[in-house]
């Protein structure tokens, strides 16, 4: 373990989370099934080995899915408030282990320690939400057209839920799904990112211990590990009625096709190409804060990261100067050092994509305002630290039309009225998060109207990042259309059933049909 890691308490965090140097891969909570090739996890912070896990083989997967399927049959019989009580105890452990888990997230993924703690807080918040939800899994009662009949609908657990999550939020997105699925009565099989396998092991250790101590059936929380081939085991498996997948649009299209081929359900959270519109009535100070955090937070590796800043020509130079000035104040370095704003990209492949994006925007005629580049020297030995960059560009540039998963902000100018800005904002294939900066009530309401933003998330006077648990999270178009977290997102994890009860001695048919014998 690197000296810098030790100085920030990583070794102690790993020990407290039960993550050893070599982990055989967890599956269902009590047993360790994975037995395939080793996967090494290296920190982008300092390039050092954190630990190793074993990949899931086909034989391992069969053990996992069998155990999860059997566990579900028992788990679904437990009343939802009792399932919620076990989730509450899981939440108690998250609160107790918030600091070490936040440190591991920061060290293995590369986001700032504050963001690591924030991610664990999201886990805590969704568990709070789920515990309350366990007493509110409601249906509707409807009036029947037939005398002496009652109609209502109810929701039943769906079964085994397959979860595929990405490296950028290695624990929070899993919890968005599992906390709700668990109280709904489902079992969960999680394929975490092979780039952040140890955070997955840590979470599974916590869940396994809580479920075991509370007498829950084995298989309710399962973990499988490996590359896309391991995910394919779930996407092709008819025993997994729902696949919740977070990642690139390319990946999502493959998952959607495979699952649709067997008439399964998908919950897709895919790419974002998020924009902030800045009108002449915007508060420039708040605009800078929202845009800078949105663009450089998590080193630009959030699905809700701000990619495009669409600024009215009347305030364009003022906003440009303020943003450029703010970028000069950004501190880049070890994310466990809370004096730094930005940590590394996840790996050197991400660095190549970042460099390619900057080359491409120049090739297409863009102008670099804040120069990027890879940082070298002491503290940057991993080769994954880059400078956040800003480029003046046009929305029709090919590179701007794609999601650049790195700290590259494209500055776009618009003229005329707000409709022109909205057209630019909506003029990409993705539709996740959007925002407008304005003190004009009419502009704000226009942006939120039916002819305004076409994204699943639309904010006023805040940035594109930082969704709260209470609202449903997700987007439209090539973002996939899925919804996770709050509101009524719980319904995707259940099957709806309509019931009609006849309490008379007659058997009238609907629509007045006569069928006398």
Question: In the beta sheet, which residues pair with residue 418?
Answer: none
CB proximity list for 511: less than 8 A, separation 6 or greater: none
Match 């014998």 to its residue by tokens: 517
Angle at 509 between CA 504 and CA 513, to 5 degrees: 145
* Torsion of Cα atoms, 253 then 257 then 259 then 263, to 10°: 140
* Sign of the CA dihedral with 89 first, then 95, 100, and 103 last: positive
Identify whether 30 is part of a domain: yes
- Give a yes or no: residue 511 inside a domain: no
pLDDT tier for residue 206 given thresholds of 50, 70 and 90: very high
Q: What was the pLDDT predicted at 35?
A: 83
Statement to judge: residues 452 and 484 lie in one domain? no
CATH value at residue 17 = 3.40.605.10
For residues 358 and 376, the answer to whether their CB atoms sit within 8 Å is no
Q: Residue 310: name the closest of 330, 291, 328, 285 by CA.
A: 291
> 325-378 pLDDT, tens per residue?
999 999 999 999 999 999 999 999 999 999 999 999 999 999 999 999 999 999
**CB-based contact 211:221 (threshold 8 Å):** yes
Do residues 51 and 19 touch, judged by C-beta distance below 8 A?
yes
Provide the 8-state DSSP code for 279: -
Same domain, 338 and 350: yes
Q: Which of 353, 331, 304 is nearest to 484 (CA)?
A: 304
**What does the pLDDT read at residue 4?**
45
Which pLDDT score, from 0 to 100, does residue 23 have? 56
CA atoms within 13 A on the CB side of 471: 11
**Strand (E) positions, 313-468?**
367-370, 389-392, 408-414, 430-431, 433-437, 457-460
Where residue 359 sits, what CATH number does that domain have? 3.40.309.10
Which positions are annotated as active-site residues? Answer: 269
Q: Which of 516, 315, 285 is nearest to 414 (CA)?
A: 315
pLDDT at 21: 55
Beta-carbon contacts of 466 under 8 Å, excluding residues fewer than 6 positions away, are: 293, 304
pLDDT of residue 26: 41
> What's the Cα-to-Cα distance from 450 to each of 125, 308, 427, 458, 482, rounded to whole Å?
31, 22, 16, 12, 19
pLDDT grade for 22, boundaries at 50, 70 and 90:
low
Say if 229 falls within a structural domain. Answer: yes
Flag whether pLDDT at 210 surpasses 50: yes
pLDDT beyond 80 at 160: yes
Backbone φ and ψ for 41, nearest 5 degrees, come out as -110, 115
Strand partners, 412: 310
Note the pLDDT of residue 224: 96
- How confident is residue 50, by pLDDT bands cut at 50, 70 and 90? very high
Band of the pLDDT at 509, cuts 50, 70, 90?
A: very high
In this structure, are 241 and 348 located in the same domain? no
Given pLDDT bands bounded at 50, 70 and 90, which one contains residue 466? Answer: confident
Residues 143, 151: contact at Cβ < 8 Å? yes
Q: How far is CA 223 from CA 8, 29, 202, 331, in A?
A: 28, 8, 11, 36
- pLDDT over 50 at 1, yes or no: no
Rounded to 5°, the CA angle 328-332-334 comes to: 165
pLDDT for residue 24: 47
Q: Are residues 258 and 339 in the same domain?
A: no
User: Domain check: are 181 and 279 in the same one?
Assistant: no
Question: How many folded domains does the chain comprise?
Answer: 2
Residue 310 confidence (pLDDT): 98
CA distance 392 to 394: 7
The answer to whether 437 and 277 are in contact (CB under 8 A) is yes
Residue 284 domain flag: yes
- Percent of the chain residues past pLDDT 90, beyond the cut: 94
Task: Please tell me the pTM assigned to this model.
Answer: 0.95
Same domain (yes/no): 242, 326: no
Q: Within this chain, do residues 306 and 331 fall inside the same structural domain, yes or no? A: yes
Region 121-150: mean pLDDT is: 97
In a domain, 74, yes or no: yes
Asked whether residue 368 falls in the same domain as residue 265, the answer is no
38 and 7: one domain?
yes
Least confident range of 27-31, 84-88, 370-374, 421-425: 27-31
Domain assignment present for residue 516? The answer is: no
Pairing relationship of beta strands 274-278 and 306-312 according to DSSP bridges: parallel
Pairing label, strands 367-370, 433-437: unpaired
Same domain, 432 and 447: yes
8 band by pLDDT with thresholds 50, 70 and 90? confident
pLDDT band at 470 (very low <50, low <70, confident <90, very high): very high
Mean pLDDT over residues 406-423, rounded?
A: 98
| One domain, residues 234 and 288 | no
Q: Is residue 510 part of a domain?
A: no
Residue 335: domain span? 274-470
Q: What is the pLDDT of residues 93-106, one digit of tens each?
A: 999 999 999 999 99
Query: What does the DSSP assignment read for 442-488?
Result: HHHHHHHSTTS--SSEEEESS-S----TTSEE--EETT-S--EESTT
For the residues 501-509, what does the mean pLDDT come to? 95
Residues 332 and 369 in one domain: yes
Query: Per-residue pLDDT for 73 more than 50?
Result: yes
Residues 259-304 pLDDT 10s: 999 999 999 999 999 999 999 999 999 999 999 999 999 999 999 9
Strand order in 306-312's β-sheet? Answer: 367-370, 389-392, 408-414, 306-312, 274-278, 433-437, 457-460
In a domain, 505, yes or no: no
Residues in contact with 236: Cβ distance below 8 Å, sequence separation at least 6, in sequence order: 258, 262
272 close to 304: Cβ distance less than 8 angstroms: yes
Q: Are 133 and 84 in contact (CB under 8 A)?
A: yes
Structure tokens at 456: 């699943």
pLDDT tens, residue by residue, 24-48: 444 334 444 578 999 999 999 999 9
379: CB partners within 8 A, 6+ apart: 333, 334, 385
pLDDT band, residue 5 (cuts 50/70/90): low
């Amino acid at each position: 373990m690197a000296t810098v890691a030790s100085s920030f308490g990583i070794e102690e965090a790993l020990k407290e989370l039960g993550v050893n140097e070599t982990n055989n891969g967890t599956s269902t909570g009590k047993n360790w099934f994975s037995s395939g090739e080793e996967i090494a996890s290296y920190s982008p912070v300092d390039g050092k080995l954190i630990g190793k896990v074993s990949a899931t083989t086909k034989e391992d997967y069969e053990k996992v899915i069998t155990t999860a399927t059997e566990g579900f049959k028992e788990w679904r019989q437990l009343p939802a408030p009792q399932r919620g009580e076990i989730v509450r105890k899981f939440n108690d452990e998250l609160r107790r282990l918030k600091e070490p888990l936040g440190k591991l997230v920061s060290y293995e993924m590369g986001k700032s320690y504050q963001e690591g703690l924030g991610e664990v807080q999201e886990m805590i918040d969704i568990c709070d939400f789920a515990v309350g939800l366990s007493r509110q899994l409601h249906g509707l009662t409807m009036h029947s057209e037939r005398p002496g009949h009652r109609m209502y609908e109810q929701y039943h657990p769906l079964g085994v839920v397959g979860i595929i999550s990405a490296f950028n939020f290695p624990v929070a997105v899993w919890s968005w799904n599992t906390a709700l699925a668990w109280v709904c009565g489902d079992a969960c099989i999680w394929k975490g990112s092979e780039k952040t396998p140890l955070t997955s092991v840590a979470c599974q250790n916590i869940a396994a211990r809580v479920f075991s101590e509370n007498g829950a059936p084995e298989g309710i929380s399962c973990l499988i590990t490996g590359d896309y081939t391991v995910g394919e085991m779930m996407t092709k498996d008819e025993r997994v009625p729902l696949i919740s997948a977070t990642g690139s649009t390319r990946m999502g299209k493959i998952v959607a096709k495979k699952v649709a081929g067997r008439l399964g359900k998908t919950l897709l959270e895919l790419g974002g190409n998020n924009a902030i519109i800045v009108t002449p009535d915007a508060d420039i100070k708040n605009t800078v804060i929202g845009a800078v955090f949105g663009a450089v937070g998590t080193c630009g590796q959030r699905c809700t990261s701000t990619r495009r800043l669409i600024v009215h020509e009347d305030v364009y130079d003022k906003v440009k100067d303020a943003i450029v000035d703010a970028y000069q104040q950004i501190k880049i370095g070890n994310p466990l050092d809370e004096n730094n704003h930005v940590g590394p990209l996840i790996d050197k492949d991400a660095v190549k994509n970042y460099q390619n994006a900057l080359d491409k925007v120049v090739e297409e005629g863009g102008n670099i305002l804040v120069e990027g580049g890879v940082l070298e020297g002491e503290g940057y030995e991993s080769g994954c630290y880059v400078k956040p960059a800003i480029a003046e560009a046009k929305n029709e540039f090919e590179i701007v039309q794609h999601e650049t998963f790195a700290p590259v902000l494209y500055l776009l100018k618009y003229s005329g009225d707000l409709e022109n800005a909205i057209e630019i904002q909506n003029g990409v294939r993705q539709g996740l998060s959007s925002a407008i900066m304005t003190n004009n009530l009419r502009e704000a309401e226009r942006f939120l109207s039916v002819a305004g933003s076409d994204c699943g998330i639309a904010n006023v006077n805040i940035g594109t990042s930082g969704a709260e648990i209470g609202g449903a999270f997700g987007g439209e178009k090539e973002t996939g259309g899925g919804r996770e977290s709050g509101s009524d997102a719980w319904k995707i994890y259940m099957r709806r059933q309509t019931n009609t009860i006849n309490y008379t001695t007659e058997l009238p048919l609907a629509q007045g049909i006569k069928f006398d014998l």
